[in-house]
Structure formats: C-alpha cells, structure tokens
Chain A
Amino acid sequence: KAGVTQTPRYLIKTRGQQVTLSCSPISGHRSVSWYQQTPGQGLQFLFEYFSETQRNKGNFPGRFSGRQFSNSRSEMNVSTLELGDSALYLCASSYLGPTSYEQYFGPGTRLTVT
C-alpha cells in the first residue's frame, strides 16, 4: 500500500509570492490533516478535511487555506508569503479521523521563503 505522498518535496519562494502544496493520502483514507513544523514553534495544526469539508482549523491567519477533492487528495495554499512561513509542512491521512484511527504522515514539503 503506497504511503502518503507530498509534492513538491522542496520549494524556494520569495516574500509576497504564493505557493500551493499537494498531498495524496493513502488509498481509502478520507481524512487529511496539515501541520506546520518549525524549530521555534514545533508542530502546529493547520486544518483537517474530511470528505471535502473542513472540520477543524488551527490558529493561523487567513493567508493559509486548503481544500480537499473528491478523491481525498488535498492542497494547501499560502498567499503573500512571509519569511516566517519557512517551515516543513506535513500532511497526514487517516481512515475517518486522526484520533480514532491511526494517522499516517507524509515526508513533508520543505518551504523556504527568501
């Protein structure tokens, strides 16, 4: 069974630009979550989607948005990039939800904003 895949693995963007990250969950998983990992703040929850609906959102500005498609694939978008958005962005999928069912993480997308 293929794991969670994230593309691209590495990105370098300039302040003010926007970026879209993609996540393909494990086949059959309907819940997709996104997390931001930085050395200072650690792992912080961004949002969770289930069957194309956002069920939960973390404490991030509106520049961070996401969506989920009917095949459960998910994208997150960050507009007007800031230096502080440099981070490892992790996607995770689970069958129906991250607490009742095991959550599988992808390897992450490393975003560097210059």
Chain B
Amino acid sequence: GDSVTQMEGPVTLSEEAFLTINCTYTATGYPSLFWYVQYPGEGLQLLLKATKADDKGSNKGFEATYRKETTSFHLEKGSVQVSDSAVYFCALSDQAGTALIFGKGTTLSVSS
C-alpha cells in the first residue's frame, strides 16, 4: 500500500543553520504531498503542499519540491530559528483523496 518514509530524528541544529528533513514515498497514481508541523501541546498545522510533479510548496521560509523521479518531497529551510522547534510530518493523499497517510514524524530541536 501507499506509505511515507521520513528520516528518523531527533534533528538538533543551532540557530541559523540549514535544515533538510528527508521524505520519500511509495504510491500508486499521483498523490498530493504535504508537510505538517506539530508544536508542543498543539494539533497539526499544514506547513506546505504540492499537488503535482515539480511543484514547489513554500511557507514561512520552508520549501519542498515534488520529485516524481525520486519519489521524494524533502523539506528545507535556509536558516532555522528556535521557534521552528517542533515535530514535522510528511504526508500524502490516499487514492480516494479523502485521507492522509503520514510518516512517523521528525523532531527538530533548534538551540540559540
């Protein structure tokens, strides 16, 4: 079945460092891809999305490009801040388009 694999955490960075969180997927068809973020004690928030190959989603300095040839959707940010500390989830839409399949999540910790 469809699945998402993302890098294990935790990822620990200093403020202003470059961030990459790897995400690869297995899917039939052409799913939409998402990154969600979960701050401590809160629900998930949509960070960015891409709906077709070569689309780039971006928000709050974060970017991810839908790479069909490598089945990847890696999350990047040029300069992280302490406030970016959270758990990041990569997800894809199922074939019916009515459910999201999530990766296990990657914990990011940024220190000043």
Q: Does B97 contact A (CB under 8 A)?
A: yes
User: Closest approach, in angstroms, between the C-beta of A58 and any C-beta of chain B?
Assistant: 7
Q: Are A107 and B43 in contact (CB under 8 A)?
A: yes
**Which chain A residue shows the least CB distance to B97?**
A99
Give B69-111 interface residues, CB cut-off 8 Å to A. Answer: 89, 93-94, 96-105
B61: Cβ under 8 A from any A Cβ: no
Describe B's contact surface by its main secondary structure: loop
Contact B46 A102 (CB under 8 A): yes
A103: chain B residues at CB < 8 Å are 46, 100
CB–CB A97/B98 < 8 A: yes
Residues of B within 8 A of A64 (CB): none
Chain B residues in 8 Å Cβ range of A42: 102-105
Inter-subunit contact A55/B98 (CB<8 Å): yes
Partner of A106, one of B32, B41, B43, B100: B43
Q: Is the CB of B99 within 8 A of A90?
A: no
Q: Hey, which bits of chain B sit against chain A, CB under 8 A?
A: 32, 36, 41-46, 89, 93-94, 96-105
Footprint of B on A, CB under 8 Å?
4, 31, 33, 35, 42-45, 48, 50, 55-56, 58, 90, 92, 97-100, 102-108
| 11 A–B pairs (Cβ distance < 8 Å), ordered by A | A33-B100, A43-B89, A45-B94, A45-B100, A55-B98, A56-B96, A58-B99, A98-B97, A98-B100, A99-B93, A99-B100
